[in-house]
Amino acid sequence: ILGGFSMGGGMAMHLAYRFHQDLAGVFALSSFLNKDSAVYQALKKDESVLPELFQCHGTADELVLYSWGEETNKMLKSLGVSTSLHTFPNLNHELSRTEIEKLRTWIVKKLPVESTKAN
């Protein structure tokens, strides 16, 4: 799994959808891709199975507008990415406990459980 907050989420989407599509998933918190992103261009040419996107965004974000994150989600979905967008009313460009808990739950579901090895 690869992910990040703000520009880190944008970088994660670039890495995952352009170069490392064998990931279990991608998360992007308060992040977006620009309208002419190279990610969109790459996905238009690609027909492979793509990692799922877990996205969170606050509606009060004044640095990375909610509408930008929403547009990114819709565009990626239209290009074959399985996406989920979790909206947080009144959340600015920051993390919330609820957001982190939702992310943790998603990560635990995505990653296989390692069996304990006897020494």
Domain ranges of the chain: 2-110
Architecture of domain 2-110: 3-Layer(aba) Sandwich (3.40)
pLDDT digits (tens, 9 = 90+) for 79-114: 999 999 999 999 999 999 999 999 999 999 998 776
Map residue 44 onto helix, strand or coil: helix
Q: Give the mean pLDDT of the chain.
A: 93
**pLDDT of 115:** 52
Active site residue 93: yes
The fraction of the chain above a pLDDT of 70, given in percent, is 95
Compute how many other C-beta atoms are within 10 angstroms of the C-beta atom of residue 66: 20
* Residues 82, 55: Cα–Cα separation, whole Å: 11
pLDDT band at 23 (very low <50, low <70, confident <90, very high): very high
**pLDDT of 44:** 92
Q: Which one is catalytic: 14, 46, 93, 96?
A: 93
CA angle in degrees (0–180, nearest 5) for 64-103-15: 60
Compute how many other C-beta atoms are within 10 angstroms of the C-beta atom of residue 12: 24
* Residues 72, 64: Cα–Cα separation, whole Å: 12
Query: At residue 17, what is the residue type?
Result: Y
pLDDT digits (tens, 9 = 90+) for 24-64: 999 999 999 999 999 999 999 877 889 999 999 999 999 99
Cα dihedral across residues 43, 19, 32, 57: positive or negative: positive
pLDDT band at 71 (very low <50, low <70, confident <90, very high): very high
Active site residue 36: no
Q: Which one is catalytic: 6, 46, 84, 96?
A: 6
Closest CA to 27 of 56, 50, 48: 56
Q: Which one is catalytic: 30, 37, 57, 61?
A: 61
Decide: pTM greater than 0.85.
yes
